[in-house]
Each structure stands twice: as structure tokens, then as C-alpha cells.
Structure 1
């Protein structure tokens, strides 16, 4: 599932850095759960 999270982060790279960080953390948490 880590691959999906990485891909999502790359797509969000166009957005603000803060937004990406928040999304990355949320995705990581969901994947870990």
C-alpha cells in the first residue's frame, strides 16, 4: 500500500507543500491502520 501513498504524494506535488505533508500523514496513518 506504500506505493499508492507515494504515487498520491507525487500527484499532490503540484499543490502546496503544507497540503502535501498533511495529506501524506493522513494517508500513511490510514495505510498503517
Structure 2
């Protein structure tokens, strides 16, 4: 259980990071920043 929880937490952090990077790239690409 602890291992699964840890993996899920890491996956959540990675997912959020990817979303922020993609959002930032999209804003930068459209020149909205």
C-alpha cells in the first residue's frame, strides 16, 4: 500500500509538471506571455 501510494504521488507530481510545461509552452507559443 505505501509503495502504491508513493508511486501515485510521484505520478501526480509528474502529471501536474507536464501540464504546467505544456500550458506554459502554449502561452509562450501564442505570444500571450
Bin of the TM-score, shorter chain as denominator length:
0.5 to 0.7
For the pair shown, the structure with the greater C-alpha radius of gyration is: 2
1:31 pairs with 2:22: yes
Instruction: Write 1 or 2 for the structure with the bigger share of helix.
Output: 2
Q: Take 1:20 and 1:28, find their aligned partners in 2: how far apart are those partners?
A: 12
TM-score by length of 1: 0.53
Displaced runs of 4 or more, over 3 A: none
From 22, 27, 32, the equivalent of 2:13 is 22
